Amino acid sequence: MQFVGDYQVDPTLCDDLIALHKACAKQGLVVRGRLGTDQGMVVDKKKKDSYDLGLITVPDALAEQHRLPEFYGALKDCIDQYAEKFPIIKQLGAYHIGESPIIQRYKRGGGYRWPHCERTGLDSTTRMLVWMMYLNDVSDGGGTHFVYQRHTFEARKGRLLVWPSDFTHTHHGVVSKTQEKFIITGWLNFAD
């Protein structure tokens, strides 16, 4: 699909990231998923029903144990491939991971149902690209649907997607009523 990069990352990293989410849940670091509104960040399970781990909260020892630095290396490789496909990206100015990535768990019947994009106002103006990786296979739903492209990507373990942050790539999760889903997601932000 145009402007969506579709890459594959070592699936054993996915196992480690799921284990990281579970270890951090035991430490009370996982919170109900929130979304941004005019009233700030709120929990609205009708729109987004998830359990989120902001990676900024992860203790260094757990990050190392669960190969988080190795994941960041794999992510960089995918972003570099995306920038090779769209070389204008290299001319836009410096960018980096400027916000904490999130590992999200969606229990059976949970999901991010609400169509949304990733750059929605002044607080998200520096976002230029979005990335997301499925951490497990989901055979009954579980994918991501891009509204205007009328395309759904299936949830396959290790599949990492990269796309523009704007309204042209409005998307939502496809809920699975029978299986849970784990993803890791975040943004690339302009650095200056």
pLDDT tens string 173-188: 999 999 999 999 999 9
5-190 under CATH 2.60.120.620, yes or no: yes
pTM of the model: 0.94
With CA atoms as reference, report the closest residue to 126 among 191, 79, 80.
191
- Alpha carbon separation from 128 to 6, 8, 78, 85, 108 (Å, rounded): 17, 21, 15, 16, 31
Q: What is the DSSP string of 63-104?
A: HHHTTHHHHHHHHHHHHHHHHHHSGGGGGS--EE--S--EEE
Q: Which two tokens stand for residue 47?
A: 């729109």
- What is the chain's pLDDT, residue by residue, as a tens digit (192 residues)? 789 999 999 999 999 999 999 999 999 999 998 887 777 778 878 888 899 999 999 999 999 999 999 999 999 999 999 999 999 999 998 999 999 999 999 999 998 988 898 888 888 899 999 999 999 999 999 999 999 999 999 999 999 999 999 999 999 999 999 999 999 999 999 997
Quick one: pLDDT at residue 107? 96
Quick one: pLDDT at residue 143? 97
